[in-house]
Amino acid sequence: MKPILQNLVEMTGHRDHLRLEVSVLSTLLKLGHIVQVRALEFFVQDQVTMLRPRSWSQDGQIVSSAHDACSDPQGVPLTQLPGLAQCIESRQASAQHSATGRHTLWLPVWLADRAHACLEITQSRALTRHQRDVVMGVFLVYQNYQSLLDYSERDALTGLFNRKTFEEQFARQAGARPDAAQGDDPPRQWLAVIDIDHFKAVNDRFGHLYGDEVLILVANRLRSLFRSQDRIFRFGGEEFVVLLRSVTLAQARQALERLRAAIQEHTFPQVGHITISIGFAATQAGSPVEILGRADQALYHAKENGRNRVCFYDDLLHSGALQAKVAHDEVELF
């Protein structure tokens, strides 16, 4: 029992979801008779729920995938694991499957009323009552700590990621940037900055209660119109940021124009109709400060030229509407 307690202490010392995941898999791997442990990630592709291994045991060590979920060839439809699919649909705490010499236990990880991942434990023998109790105890500590980490990363009003998590998420996406792709419009990563037009007037006229409701409803539209592998942040006030993963420029434009039109057409309680302005830039070249600055420049151009528009930084640069700013290493993002 002492080694397990030591592992739990180490596990709860992490402040990063991936490191915490690796730590809990390492803890479970030491429990005996375990053939393999994996952390499976759920994502949606072409309206089909998929899953893929995000971290797993290999030669007694835990390794993690460097691929984005949306492009990982290891992704398979959830329907290929009917026991797990039924567990998720009926919101059960666990599911099991036994075959000759292999016994698998699935433990879905629920955050914000949604199963976003699953721990998979495969043993050479069926779990005893005692083993199951130990595994469930370790898992519940892990899930509770995941929830605490998730809460610290979220904006209290909208439930979106908050600004302090942006740098970590952006760095992780930048670290997975693909090699130069061929073609006129290859899939890339994009950063979009979104600002509600005349939001101060909404607060002044209708009060902050209705202003907060507008922010919540805009956040809900962002969730519904972007994919699970994209990342959405509230930067504070009426500003939002979206990291779009592995889409072409045409697809990025289409997604952002769809958002702009959806907000324009939506009727907000008491307030009526509002609009948003959007600026976006590619992320494959430059530091986070530079890339965010480019998207901000495009946003300000949209707001200064009529609002309710989507502007792409490179378009403005090539047309002469903007000029590239000189980057300085000493600039820091606050």
What DSSP element (H or E) covers 190? strand 188-196
DSSP run (H or E) holding 170: helix 166-175
Is residue 195 located within the same domain as residue 94?
no
Residues 6+ apart with CB under 8 A from 71: 178, 187, 246
Which of 124-133, 177-186, 317-326 holds the top average pLDDT?
Answer: 124-133
Q: Indicate whether 301 and 229 sit together in one domain.
A: yes
Give one DSSP letter per residue of 6-24, joined into a string: HHHHHHTT--SHHHHHHHH
Q: What is the CATH number of the domain that holds 80?
A: 3.30.450.40
Please state the domain count of the chain. 2
pTM, two decimals, is 0.69
145 and 54, same domain (yes or no)? yes
Q: Is residue 185 part of a domain?
A: yes
Q: Could you read off the pLDDT of 272-308 as tens digits, one per residue?
A: 999 999 999 999 878 888 899 999 999 999 999 999 9
Query: Token pair 């130990």 is at which residue?
Result: 134
Question: Is there a domain that residue 324 lies in?
Answer: no
Residues 112 and 207 in one domain: no
Query: Chain centroid to CA 291: how far?
Result: 19
Instruction: Examine the domain organization and report whether 41 and 75 are in the same domain.
Output: yes
Digit-coded pLDDT (tens) for 158-188: 989 898 888 777 766 655 554 445 567 888 9
Residues 134 and 175 in one domain: no
Q: Which of 57, 52, 54, 55 is nearest to 73 (CA)?
A: 52
Q: Which domain range does residue 17 map to?
A: 2-152
Q: What is the DSSP letter of 32?
A: S
Same domain, 212 and 301: yes
Domain end residue (candidates: 152, 176, 208): 152
* Tokens 């480019």, residue located: 294
**168 and 264 part of one domain:** yes
Query: Is 241 part of any domain?
Result: yes
Give pLDDT tens digits for 18-69.
788 888 898 888 887 788 999 998 877 777 888 888 899 988 889 887 544 4
Q: Cα separation of 156 and 169, whole Å?
A: 18
How far, CA to CA in Å, does 162 sit from each of 126, 155, 172, 231? 43, 5, 16, 11
CA-based max dimension of the chain: 70
**313 in the same domain as 239:** yes
Question: Which residues does the annotation mark as catalytic?
Answer: 238
